Amino acid sequence: LKDALIGMDLVIIPAGVPHKHGLTKDDLFNINVGIVKTLCEAIAKCCPKAIVNVLSNPVNSTVLITAEVFKRVGTYDPKRLLGVTMLDVVRANMFVAEVLGVDLRYVDVPIIGGHVGITILPLLSQIKPPCSFTLKRSEYPSSTILTS
Protein backbone atom coordinates (compact mmCIF):
# COMPACT_ATOMS: atom_id res chain seq x y z
CA LEU A 1 0.00 0.00 0.00
CA LYS A 2 2.84 2.34 0.92
CA ASP A 3 4.54 1.75 -2.44
CA ALA A 4 1.30 2.45 -4.28
CA LEU A 5 0.73 5.75 -2.49
CA ILE A 6 4.07 7.49 -2.12
CA GLY A 7 4.36 10.43 -4.54
CA MET A 8 0.72 10.34 -5.67
CA ASP A 9 -1.10 13.60 -6.51
CA LEU A 10 -4.51 11.93 -6.93
CA VAL A 11 -5.94 8.87 -5.18
CA ILE A 12 -9.26 7.41 -6.37
CA ILE A 13 -10.87 4.95 -3.95
CA PRO A 14 -13.32 2.48 -5.55
CA ALA A 15 -12.48 -0.29 -3.05
CA GLY A 16 -15.33 -1.90 -1.17
CA VAL A 17 -18.31 -4.17 -1.45
CA PRO A 18 -21.24 -3.23 -3.69
CA HIS A 19 -24.94 -3.45 -2.80
CA LYS A 20 -25.70 -6.63 -4.65
CA HIS A 21 -24.00 -9.11 -2.32
CA GLY A 22 -27.07 -9.69 -0.14
CA LEU A 23 -25.57 -7.56 2.60
CA THR A 24 -27.59 -5.35 4.91
CA LYS A 25 -27.11 -1.58 4.83
CA ASP A 26 -25.21 -1.86 8.11
CA ASP A 27 -22.88 -4.53 6.69
CA LEU A 28 -22.18 -2.39 3.64
CA PHE A 29 -21.52 0.61 5.84
CA ASN A 30 -19.26 -1.17 8.31
CA ILE A 31 -17.18 -3.02 5.73
CA ASN A 32 -16.70 -0.07 3.40
CA VAL A 33 -16.02 2.45 6.14
CA GLY A 34 -13.34 0.12 7.54
CA ILE A 35 -11.71 -0.20 4.10
CA VAL A 36 -11.82 3.53 3.38
CA LYS A 37 -10.51 4.41 6.84
CA THR A 38 -7.49 2.11 6.46
CA LEU A 39 -6.71 3.55 3.02
CA CYS A 40 -7.03 7.14 4.24
CA GLU A 41 -4.76 6.56 7.20
CA ALA A 42 -2.14 5.36 4.72
CA ILE A 43 -2.80 8.34 2.41
CA ALA A 44 -2.29 10.74 5.33
CA LYS A 45 1.12 9.22 5.91
CA CYS A 46 2.33 8.59 2.35
CA CYS A 47 0.81 11.40 0.23
CA PRO A 48 -0.90 13.91 2.51
CA LYS A 49 -1.22 16.52 -0.27
CA ALA A 50 -2.99 14.19 -2.72
CA ILE A 51 -6.50 14.91 -3.95
CA VAL A 52 -8.69 12.08 -2.66
CA ASN A 53 -11.77 11.00 -4.63
CA VAL A 54 -13.98 8.46 -2.83
CA LEU A 55 -16.40 6.17 -4.68
CA SER A 56 -16.98 3.50 -2.03
CA ASN A 57 -20.57 3.54 -0.84
CA PRO A 58 -22.49 4.88 0.96
CA VAL A 59 -20.46 7.75 -0.45
CA ASN A 60 -22.26 10.44 1.53
CA SER A 61 -20.97 8.74 4.70
CA THR A 62 -17.57 7.49 3.53
CA VAL A 63 -16.53 11.02 2.47
CA LEU A 64 -17.42 12.39 5.92
CA ILE A 65 -15.51 9.61 7.64
CA THR A 66 -12.54 10.27 5.39
CA ALA A 67 -12.69 13.93 6.45
CA GLU A 68 -12.64 12.88 10.11
CA VAL A 69 -9.59 10.64 9.55
CA PHE A 70 -7.72 13.53 7.91
CA LYS A 71 -8.82 16.01 10.61
CA ARG A 72 -7.51 13.71 13.30
CA VAL A 73 -4.04 13.61 11.76
CA GLY A 74 -4.08 17.27 10.72
CA THR A 75 -4.07 16.83 6.91
CA TYR A 76 -7.72 17.70 6.18
CA ASP A 77 -8.22 20.07 3.23
CA PRO A 78 -11.83 20.33 1.99
CA LYS A 79 -10.55 21.41 -1.44
CA ARG A 80 -8.74 18.08 -1.81
CA LEU A 81 -11.51 15.69 -0.79
CA LEU A 82 -14.47 14.72 -2.94
CA GLY A 83 -16.93 11.90 -3.56
CA VAL A 84 -18.72 10.71 -6.69
CA THR A 85 -22.44 11.21 -6.07
CA MET A 86 -23.75 11.40 -9.63
CA LEU A 87 -24.94 7.80 -9.84
CA ASP A 88 -28.35 8.36 -8.23
CA VAL A 89 -28.80 11.59 -10.22
CA VAL A 90 -28.02 9.88 -13.52
CA ARG A 91 -30.48 7.10 -12.76
CA ALA A 92 -33.17 9.53 -11.62
CA ASN A 93 -32.75 11.59 -14.79
CA MET A 94 -33.27 8.45 -16.86
CA PHE A 95 -36.42 7.32 -15.02
CA VAL A 96 -37.97 10.78 -15.13
CA ALA A 97 -37.11 11.24 -18.82
CA GLU A 98 -38.90 7.94 -19.46
CA VAL A 99 -42.05 9.06 -17.63
CA LEU A 100 -42.09 12.49 -19.25
CA GLY A 101 -41.20 11.09 -22.66
CA VAL A 102 -38.45 13.69 -23.13
CA ASP A 103 -34.79 13.52 -24.11
CA LEU A 104 -32.65 12.46 -21.14
CA ARG A 105 -30.07 15.15 -21.94
CA TYR A 106 -32.51 17.91 -20.96
CA VAL A 107 -33.60 16.42 -17.63
CA ASP A 108 -32.08 17.29 -14.28
CA VAL A 109 -33.43 15.77 -11.07
CA PRO A 110 -31.81 17.17 -7.90
CA ILE A 111 -31.18 14.53 -5.23
CA ILE A 112 -30.30 15.19 -1.62
CA GLY A 113 -29.76 12.91 1.38
CA GLY A 114 -28.07 9.53 1.28
CA HIS A 115 -27.45 6.63 -1.07
CA VAL A 116 -29.57 3.82 0.41
CA GLY A 117 -33.35 3.35 0.14
CA ILE A 118 -35.44 6.06 1.77
CA THR A 119 -32.38 8.14 2.61
CA ILE A 120 -32.30 9.05 -1.11
CA LEU A 121 -34.54 12.08 -1.59
CA PRO A 122 -35.31 13.02 -5.21
CA LEU A 123 -36.72 16.56 -5.33
CA LEU A 124 -39.39 15.90 -7.94
CA SER A 125 -40.82 19.41 -7.51
CA GLN A 126 -37.45 20.92 -8.55
CA ILE A 127 -37.00 18.97 -11.79
CA LYS A 128 -35.73 20.74 -14.90
CA PRO A 129 -37.54 21.19 -17.23
CA PRO A 130 -40.33 22.22 -14.82
CA CYS A 131 -43.05 19.56 -14.81
CA SER A 132 -45.77 18.22 -12.59
CA PHE A 133 -46.61 14.64 -11.75
CA THR A 134 -49.90 13.25 -10.57
CA LEU A 135 -49.38 11.18 -7.44
CA LYS A 136 -49.72 8.04 -9.55
CA ARG A 137 -47.25 9.23 -12.18
CA SER A 138 -44.69 10.14 -9.49
CA GLU A 139 -44.80 6.62 -8.04
CA TYR A 140 -42.63 5.08 -10.74
CA PRO A 141 -39.69 7.49 -10.66
CA SER A 142 -39.78 7.83 -6.87
CA SER A 143 -39.87 4.17 -5.99
CA THR A 144 -37.48 3.19 -8.77
CA ILE A 145 -34.94 5.83 -7.72
CA LEU A 146 -35.00 4.49 -4.15
CA THR A 147 -34.63 0.83 -5.04
CA SER A 148 -32.38 0.88 -8.10
Ligand X SMILES: NC(=O)C1=CN([C@@H]2O[C@H](COP(=O)(O)OP(=O)(O)OC[C@H]3O[C@@H](n4cnc5c(N)ncnc54)[C@H](O)[C@@H]3O)[C@@H](O)[C@H]2O)C=CC1
Residues that bind ligand OAA (CB under 6 A): 18-20, 57, 87
In the bound state, the residue with its beta carbon closest to ligand OAA is 18
21 is catalytic: no
Q: Which residues contact 11 (CB under 8 A, 6 or more apart)?
A: 5, 39, 43, 47, 50, 51, 52, 53
Residue tagged active-site, from 52, 69, 96, 115 = 115
> Among residues 62 and 75, whose Cβ is nearest to ligand OAA?
62
Chosen from ligand OAA, ligand X, none, partner binding at 82 (C-beta under 5 to 8 Å by type) = none
Chosen from ligand OAA, ligand X, none, partner binding at 5 (C-beta under 5 to 8 Å by type) = none
> Among residues 12 and 102, whose Cβ is nearest to ligand X?
12
Kindly report the length of the chain.
Answer: 148
- For binding to ligand X (CB under 6 A), which residues are involved? 14-19, 32, 35, 55-57, 59, 84, 87
Smallest distance, Å, CB 2 to ligand X?
A: 13
Question: Hey, which residues are catalytic here?
Answer: 115
